[in-house]
Chains A and B, each alone.
Chain A
Amino acid sequence: MISWWQSLTFARRSGAILLALIVLAALFGPAMATDPVSQNLDRVLRSPSLEQPLGTDHLGRSMLARLVHALQLSFSLALLSVLSAAAIGISLGLLAAWRGGVIEAVLTSIADAVMTLPVLLVVLLFSAFAQGEFWSLYVGLSFALWVEYFRVSRATIKATLVSAPVESARMLGFGNLYLLRRHLLPELAPVVGTLMLFGISTAILALAALGFVGVGLRPPTPELGVMMIELFPYYEEAPWLIASPVVTLGLIMLALALLGGRKEMP
């Protein structure tokens, strides 16, 4: 574990620390913070103070509480959709690479078709079924994201299946399950890991974008994009308010990019 940490570059270490802090805030923040939706119209648009470290918004709600709740929401939805997308993508990739023929042709054409649509558009299409619902966003995100896992795992598995190590393992009498466990999945893991980090950032960004244009989750749900559009009218009077969701979103993107970023040259 320690040697693994030492093998990371400075950039990846900083990314990991930053992400860990953000995730900790998302995990434990909501339990410690106050109610994110309770209003107090006597004290709106307050500047940061000891009691309210990030100030209060136009309805007197605690910005800190809203922010940590928004973080939790974004992360859980993003993680859920990325995990589902990866599970579906890898399974279908495995199926296509292993069986080949018509199955592969059909799956590849579907994947290519989905690939032509921008992620945001796919999520928008799905969210049109049930606007502002958590599940429609989840299904939309998963559907937009599975394609890359499918393509990557299909290509990797196809190459690994014809490689000499697999050939020799087969000759030694090992079955398909063993090949999957010892040869195919270990090859896939590092690639899929990086893809998942990028997938999470895509999902969080898409979610915020939809919230911002008003087709994602609905107010009063604390969500980064929703918060941005709500606080947008007050940016001249209380710039620190809109700054907090924007900076938070920026930090999440930075942490994920640093962590998943370019590997060291061998």
Chain B
Amino acid sequence: MSAPELKVQDLAVKDGKGNWLVQPCNFTLKPGVALSIIGGSGSGKSLLVHAIMGSLAPGLRASGEIRLGNAASRAEDAAGRRPWWGHTLAMLPQEPWLALNPSMRAGKQVAESYRYVSHARMDMAQARAKARSDLDQLGVAAADGKYPFMLSGGIAQRVAFAATRAGGAQVVIVDEPTKGLDADARDNLLTVLQSVLQNGGSVLTITHDMHVAQVLGGDIMVMRDSNVLEQGPAQQVLENPQHEYTRALLAADPEHWPPATPGQGTGKTILQARGLGKRYGAHTLFSGVDLEIHAGERIAISGPSGAGKTTLGNMLLGLVPPDQGSITIAPGLNPLKLQKLYQDPVSAFAPRLTLKQAFDDIIRLHKLSPATLPRLLARLKLDEALLRRLPSQVSGGELQRLALARILLLSPALIFADEPTSRLDPISQQETMDLLLEMAAANETAVLLVTHDRMLAGRTMHRQIAIQHA
């Protein structure tokens, strides 16, 4: 059975004060053809698909028309599209972990969709059997009896996808499905989406990963600041972009960055680790890791997800005690000189404290000169007015640079950057990485980068250390 055609006409979103959040746009999602919406954070991509679903936050108003096959619905009439949910139109939201019920086993959640949403009217035993075979097909049969917190990001994503699809919907919207996934998990998910397309379904993907748009093919729509800048067949947009912003977006892909010169650090030794090992219960994460970090050196830690890359970095910073081996910090080096950049910059700041307060507290604690901060912010291309806000009110890219500014105040000797850009769009990623490396080079700071993006690691770091399961 092939999917009904989804046709969107003059769809727009405004906030309560009448500001445009999404300017009127038109597009058609044909069965068997993918459509990818790409663009920076805050460009209105997610709002657009929420407007299609009819799940906008209260206070936002949609206008325009949405047609699905023979049915038509005014965009304002969000409740009128509820009957489509699950049966014909389904959405996989961002962060599948949060979309799953934490207190229910994965297999049962998929079965629920079969039992209660699907039109097939099956009993629970049948639904359980269907759910098991779905999970098996997606290669996550082992997840059936597990709770969501026991699943890795990639697996949770596939479970959530199975639950999304179980209602029988042929038109599937996926919102940033590859955020935070490593290359293998990403390829797995792409295979799944491609099989939906091959079976006559249609897939609308929001992403800022160009690789995803390229593999899925079909059409591409580029958005920035609530506008659709460009749309057309994937090949045409990717190979011959018309708009300057699209070109910038494509150029910001690490693939196009100049490669870093490989080499061994020769500066003063900051830290020396011998035979490091860590295990959780009977499960050994890694063992026998030797590492020496010199001033100004850039090192990438690579390895499959779950191999303990972050744990190793935390161990070097003294946050996690090693089970084997030893770490020696250069004599006379203050532990405050070892700092960390977090994957999710929001989690590095106290949530209810304004940024200004957070910075003032540090300046007071370490008796720094208050004049340092404005200079530092200017170098990181940050507006001082941002400081008046709460961490949750600042965009991811800016907040990551603010987090960088905060640790630079202490002029660190080593920065452990734990996937600092995996949640950012390509342009903010490049900006953030460039600034990180520039500041590190200026202060002879060593950088230890954890990333699952091999290209990014190759383009920015001097050398890589690989860790594997023992």
Known contacts A173-B365, A173-B366, A174-B365, A167 near B352 by CB under 8 Å: no
Cα distance, A187 to B361, chains bound together (Å)? 18
A residues less than 8 Å from B406 (CB atoms): 172
B297 CB to nearest A CB, Å: 20
| Contacting pair A186 B348 (CB below 8 A) | no
Q: How far is the CA of A168 from the CA of B319 in the complex (A)?
A: 10
Of the stretches B236-244, B335-343, B381-389, the one at the interface is B335-343
Verify if B304 is at the interface (C-beta below 8 Å from A): no
Interface string of A168-212 (1 = CB under 8 A from B): 110111100010001100110000000000000000000000000
Q: What residues on A are CB-neighbors of B342 within 8 Å?
A: 164, 168
Contact of B353 among A167, A172, A186 (CB under 8 A): A186
Query: A171 with B317: in contact, given A164-B342, A178-B361 (CB under 8 Å)?
Result: yes
User: Is the C-beta of A163 less than 8 angstroms from some C-beta in chain B?
Assistant: yes
How many Å lie between the Cα of A182 and that of B350 in the bound state? 7
Contacts of B319 in A (CB 8 A): 167, 171
Q: Within 8 Å CB of A186, what residues of B?
A: 350-353
Known: A169-B350, A173-B410, A178-B361. 10 other contacts (CB 8 A): A167-B319, A168-B342, A168-B349, A171-B336, A171-B338, A171-B339, A171-B340, A172-B336, A172-B406, A174-B361
The answer on a CB contact under 8 Å between B365 and A165 is no
Contact with B along A39-76 (1 / 0, CB 8 A): 00000000000000000000000000000000000000
Min CB–CB distance B335 → chain A (angstroms): 8
Residue from the list A163, A167, A172 in contact with B362, Cβ < 8 A: A172
B441 at the interface (CB under 8 A from A): no
Within 8 A of A (CB), among B316-346: 317, 319, 336, 338-340, 342, 344
Of chain A, the residue at the smallest CB distance from B349 is A165
* Across-interface contacts of B339 in A (CB, < 8 A): 171-172
Of the candidates A163, A165, A186, the one having the most CB atoms from chain B within 10 angstroms of its own CB is: A165
Residues of B within 8 A of A183 (CB): 350
A168 touches B366 (CB 8 A): no
Do residues A172 and B350 form an inter-chain contact, with CB atoms below 8 A?
A: no
- What 0/1 pattern do residues 155 to 166 of A give for CB contact below 8 A with B? 000000001110
Digitize A11-45: 1 where CB-to-B-CB distance is under 8 Å, 0 elsewhere. Answer: 00000000000000000000000000000000000
**Does residue B210 face the partner (Cβ distance < 8 Å to A)?**
no
Q: How far is the CA of A165 from the CA of B347 in the complex (A)?
A: 6
- Chain B residues within 8 Å of chain A by Cβ, number: 23
Report the minimal beta-carbon distance from B328 to chain A, rounded to whole angstroms: 19
In the bound complex, how far is the Cα of B346 from the Cα of A163, in angstroms?
Answer: 12
Instruction: Classify chain A's interface size.
Output: 10 to 19
What is the distance, in angstroms, from A214's C-beta to the closest C-beta of chain B? 46
Chain A window 126-169, contacts with chain B (Cβ cutoff 8 Å), 1 for yes, 0 for no: 00000000000000000000000000000000000001110111
The 29 sampled A-B contact pairs (Cβ below 8 Å) are A164-B347, A164-B348, A165-B347, A165-B348, A165-B349, A165-B350, A165-B351, A167-B319, A168-B340, A168-B348, A168-B349, A169-B350, A171-B317, A171-B336, A171-B340, A172-B339, A172-B365, A172-B407, A173-B336, A173-B366, A174-B361, A174-B365, A178-B365, A182-B350, A183-B350, A186-B350, A186-B353, A187-B351, A187-B352
Q: Give every chain B residue within 8 A of A173 (Cβ-Cβ).
A: 336, 365-366, 410
Contact across chains for A172 and B410 when beta carbons are under 8 A apart: yes
The residues of A that contact B317 with a CB separation of less than 8 Å are 171
Interface set of B (CB-CB < 8 Å, partner A): 317, 319, 336, 338-340, 342, 344, 347-353, 357, 361-362, 365-366, 406-407, 410
CA distance A165 to B361 in the complex (A): 14
Most buried by B among A163, A168, A173, A186: A168
Q: In the complex, are the beta carbons of B353 and A182 less than 8 A apart?
A: yes
The 6 A-B residue pairs whose C-beta atoms are closest, nearest first, are A164-B347, A186-B352, A168-B348, A165-B350, A173-B336, A183-B350
Question: Is the pair B361, A163 in contact by a Cβ cutoff of 8 Å?
Answer: no
A78 to B240, CA, bound (A): 73
Q: Given the complex, which residues of A lie within 8 Å of B353, measured CB to CB? A: 182, 186
Instruction: Compute how far the CA of A79 lies from the CA of B348 in the bound complex, rounded to whole angstroms.
Output: 37
CB-based nearest A residue for B391: A165
Shortest distance from the beta carbon of B236 to any chain A beta carbon, whole Å: 40
A173 to B339, CA, bound (A): 10
Complex Cα gap A173–B350 (Å): 15
Among A164, A171, A174, A182, chain B packs the most CB atoms within 10 A around the CB of: A171
- Interchain nearest-CB distance for B410 vs A (Å): 7
Give Cα A171–Cα B350 distance, bound, in whole angstroms.
Answer: 14
Question: In the bound complex, how far is the Cα of B340 from the Cα of A169, in angstroms?
Answer: 11
In whole Å, how far is B382's beta carbon from the nearest beta carbon of chain A? 18
Q: What is the chain B residue whose CB lies nearest that of A186?
A: B352
Instruction: Give bound CA distance, A58 to B245, whole Å.
Output: 85
Query: Is A182 touching B348 in the complex (CB atoms < 8 A)?
Result: no
CA distance A2 to B454 in the complex (A): 51
Q: In this complex, what residue of A is CB-closest to B347?
A: A164
Q: Once the chains are docked, how many angstroms separate the CA of A169 from the CA of B366? A: 13
Cα-based distance from A172 to B349 in the complex (angstroms):
11
Cβ–Cβ < 8 Å partners of B340 in chain A: 168, 171
How far does the Cβ of B110 sit from chain A's closest Cβ, in whole Å?
25
- Chain B residues with Cβ below 8 Å from A164 are 342, 344, 347-348
* Given A173-B336, A178-B361: A163 touches B347 (CB 8 Å cut-off): yes
Asked if residues A182 and B361 are in contact (CB atoms below 8 Å), the reply is yes
Smallest CB separation, A193 vs chain B (Å): 13
Complex Cα distance, B366 from A178, in Å, reads 13
**Closest CB in chain B relative to A21 CB, distance in Å:** 30
- Closest-by-CB residue of A relative to B416 is A171
How many angstroms from the CA of A39 to the CA of B350 in the assembled complex? 60
> A171 CA to B344 CA in the complex, in Å?
17
Nearest Cβ on chain B to A216's Cβ, whole angstroms: 40
Distance of A174 Cα from B349 Cα, bound (Å): 13
Bound CA span A262–B339, Å = 41
Residue of B nearest to A173 (CB): B336
List residues of chain B with CB within 8 A of the CB of A163: 347
Q: Which residue of A lies closest to B317 (CB)?
A: A171
